[in-house]
């Protein structure tokens, strides 16, 4: 890349960091998320009734419905027995015990009592809808926003300005720590013209709070977003997420009534204009890989909502739904050791025996302090807007074909001259959309020096011990793991050059710091790989060579660059 172009990129990055975005909707009562919470009771009833109708379509006979209810009660009682959480309702055992008893009584009655199972289904769905529903409160939102901003800035200034009183200064802001890059202008434009569904990658439990801050910093109204119910076990997290518009997603619950209620909640909220955010990977990436396969359930709700809007609006302009991919780029992830252990245990089964070392809420708070007091940054890459079929859109919200011509997506939902509900067709559209999102994740991924350093080191060790499988490699003693710095440096340069080429081909992005002198970039990369962990994944020894104190965690960070065929340059 020419030096002039690199200088322009640095200037643009600095400009974006210092830019202040005015709110696109100044008054909170104008926000769609506020309207949903204001009419929360009516909205929950709407979701309940639509969900009941959907389940009746999927389980049309009395026997099918009763079988489904029995399976649901069994799974819920099993969940309570084996995997209960602090955040679970206190009456869980009593409620599901009553459901089980009613089903036992029902099995001995005649088919004329159909209203009983219908009432039971409605009671279950209504409970789920109340559990899922967010409860956005403007006063709590304002308070949370200011608290987060105040304390994060205090931490930044107290750490970076080593002088008495720095804790109370405002020299550094979150924009110095979190860099937002990419299609920011387009995102703001689309949020004015329609409903945005933001779909980020998911690596850490901090992702939800990070994205919440980004949404506010870009002048966007609060989004509703699906947050894992496990996060609500930590009271301070529960308060923040409730204040920021979160609805609860319980990954333990795999029964049909719950899944359909969750999807219907998302569909109806998007349909009513609430900007939405969820992690389509479903859970944090255990391997450190950028998601390659997405969960299609919540993703399908954007397509269903768009089709419903087309059906309801026969004349005039239809409100459009836009899908915006986002990648979160970290130098380190608090939960990396636990996540990669989980991944390897599943992958290796009896070949791998992880040590038990789990993080709790205390460690999470300590991590946040470390993050804001270390010199390591995060970037959030905003991708281009897509329609619900995966086509690119322009800043006016028009869908574009591969040649850049405007197309009308209404026709994708038309059959025999009218818009129809075709599940098989929409399932295919969901797959198309998910594939486009995965492609965009890799394309807008912003490569850090730490990512390259981790990738190069692990691949060099893998090549050096090419007779060993992954699990044997990970068991090697530390004294066998040393790389000559000169060889590492040459390999790093080759891989970095290829990343430059991939950027020119619009297949990946990289941080501007990757363009520095190679020794300085390597130094920066090594210093930042897993900077929080007690056992450092990568460092230099006294001889100046590259070593590791934790090859397993290095494997996690290495995986960030898997999928670009960079292995051939090692």
> How confident is the prediction along the chain (570 residues), in pLDDT tens digits per residue?
455 445 545 555 555 555 778 889 888 888 988 888 889 999 999 999 999 999 999 999 999 999 999 999 999 999 999 999 888 999 999 999 999 999 998 876 665 556 889 999 999 999 999 999 988 877 767 776 666 666 555 544 544 444 444 434 444 455 666 789 999 999 999 999 999 999 999 998 778 878 888 898 899 998 988 888 877 776 666 766 766 678 899 989 999 999 999 999 999 999 999 999 999 998 899 999 999 999 998 999 999 999 999 998 877 789 999 999 999 998 888 889 999 999 999 888 766 655 444 544 555 556 566 555 554 578 899 999 999 999 999 999 999 999 999 999 999 999 988 999 999 999 999 999 999 999 999 999 999 999 999 999 999 999 999 999 999 999 999 899 999 999 999 999 999 999 999 999 999 999 999 998 999 999 999 999 987 788 999 999 999 999 999 999 999 999 999 999 999 999
- Please give the sequence-ordered ranges of beta strands (E in DSSP) within 201-354, or none if there are none: 224-228, 246-249, 276-277, 320-329
Nearby residues of 221 by Cβ (< 8 Å), 6 or more positions away: 23, 24, 25, 28, 30, 31, 32, 33, 191, 275
Q: Are strands 194-200 and 276-277 parallel, antiparallel or unpaired?
A: parallel
Question: What pLDDT, on the 0 to 100 scale, is given for residue 165?
Answer: 46
Quickly list H helices, 375-448.
423-444
Structure tokens at 345: 């245990």
d(CA 166, CA 156) in angstroms, rounded, equals 9
How far apart are alpha carbons 254 and 249 in whole angstroms?
11
Phi, psi of 396 (to 5 degrees): -85, -5
pLDDT at residue 355 in the model: 44
Measured between alpha carbons, how far is 183 from 387 in angstroms, rounded to an integer?
Answer: 15
Predicted TM-score of the model (pTM): 0.87
For residue 540, the surrounding DSSP H or E stretch is strand 539-540
Coil vs helix vs strand at 146 = helix
Helices (H), 135-178: 138-160, 174-177
Strand partners, 228: 249
With 0-12 / 13-18 / 19 or more C-beta atoms within 10 angstroms meaning exposed / middle / buried, residue 468 is middle
Cα Rg of the chain, angstroms = 25
Tokens of 337: 């050791």
User: Residue 142 and residue 140: Cα distance in Å, rounded?
Assistant: 6
370's tokens: 């470390």
Tokens matching residue 156: 């930044």
Residues 509, 329: Cα–Cα separation, whole Å: 11
d(CA 212, CA 377): 17
Instruction: Judge whether 319 and 309 are in contact, CB under 8 Å.
Output: yes
- The structure tokens listed for 532 are 């929080």
């Amino acid at each position: 890349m020419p030096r002039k172009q690199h200088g322009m990129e640095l200037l643009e990055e600095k400009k974006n960091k210092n830019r202040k975005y005015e709110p696109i909707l100044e008054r909170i009562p104008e926000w769609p998320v506020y309207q949903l919470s204001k009419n929360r009771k009516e909205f929950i009833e709407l979701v309940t009734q639509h969900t009941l109708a959907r389940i009746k379509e999927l389980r049309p006979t009395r026997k099918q419905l009763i079988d489904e209810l029995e399976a649901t009660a069994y799974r819920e009682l099993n969940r309570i027995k084996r995997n209960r959480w602090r955040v679970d309702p206190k009456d869980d055992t009593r409620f599901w015990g009553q459901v089980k008893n009613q089903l036992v009584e029902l099995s001995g009655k005649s088919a004329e009592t159909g209203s009983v199972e219908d009432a039971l289904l409605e009671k279950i769905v209504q409970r789920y809808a109340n559990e899922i529903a967010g409860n956005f409160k403007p006063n709590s939102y304002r308070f949370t926003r200011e608290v987060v901003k105040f304390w994060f800035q205090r931490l930044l200034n107290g750490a970076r300005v080593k002088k008495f009183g720095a804790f109370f200064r405002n020299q550094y802001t979150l924009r110095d720590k979190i860099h937002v890059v990419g299609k920011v202008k387009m995102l703001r434009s689309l949020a004015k013209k329609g409903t945005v569904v933001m779909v980020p990658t998911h690596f850490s439990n901090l992702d939800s709070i990070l994205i919440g801050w980004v949404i506010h910093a870009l002048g966007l109204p609060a989004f509703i977003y699906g947050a894992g119910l496990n996060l609500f076990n930590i009271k301070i997290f529960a308060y923040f997420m409730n204040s920021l518009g979160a609805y609860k997603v319980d990954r333990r619950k795999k029964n049909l009534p719950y899944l359909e209620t969750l999807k219907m909640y998302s569909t109806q909220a998007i349909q009513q204009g609430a900007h939405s955010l969820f992690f389509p990977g479903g859970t944090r990436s255990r391997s450190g890989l950028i998601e390659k396969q997405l969960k299609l359930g919540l993703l399908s709700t954007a397509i269903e909502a768009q089709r419903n809007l087309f059906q309801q609006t026969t004349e005039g302009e239809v409100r459009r739904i836009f899908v915006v991919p986002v990648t979160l780029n970290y130098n380190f992830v608090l939960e990396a050791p636990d996540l990669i252990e989980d991944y390897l245990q599943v992958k290796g089964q009896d070949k791998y025996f992880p040590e038990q070392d789990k993080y709790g809420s205390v460690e999470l708070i300590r991590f946040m302090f470390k993050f804001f007091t270390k010199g390591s940054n995060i970037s959030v890459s905003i991708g281009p807007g897509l329609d619900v079929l995966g086509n690119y859109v322009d800043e006016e919200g028009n869908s574009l074909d591969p040649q850049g011509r405007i197309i009308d997506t209404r026709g994708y939902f038309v059959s025999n001259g009218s818009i129809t509900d075709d599940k098989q067709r929409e399932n295919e559209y969901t797959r198309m959309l998910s594939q486009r999102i995965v492609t965009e994740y890799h394309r807008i991924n912003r490569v850090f020096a730490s990512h390259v350093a981790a990738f190069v080191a692990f691949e060099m060790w893998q090549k050096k011990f090419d007779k060993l499988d992954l699990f044997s490699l990970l068991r090697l003693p530390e004294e066998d793991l040393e790389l000559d710095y000169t060889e590492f440096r040459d390999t790093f340069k080759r891989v970095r050059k290829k990343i430059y080429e991939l950027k020119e081909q619009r297949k990946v992005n990289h941080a501007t710091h990757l363009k520095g002198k190679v020794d300085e970039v390597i130094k920066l990369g090594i210093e930042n790989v897993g900077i929080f962990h007690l056992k450092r994944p990568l460092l230099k020894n006294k001889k100046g060579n590259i070593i590791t104190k934790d090859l397993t965690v290095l494997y996690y960070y290495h995986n960030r660059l898997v999928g670009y065929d960079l292995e051939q340059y090692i």
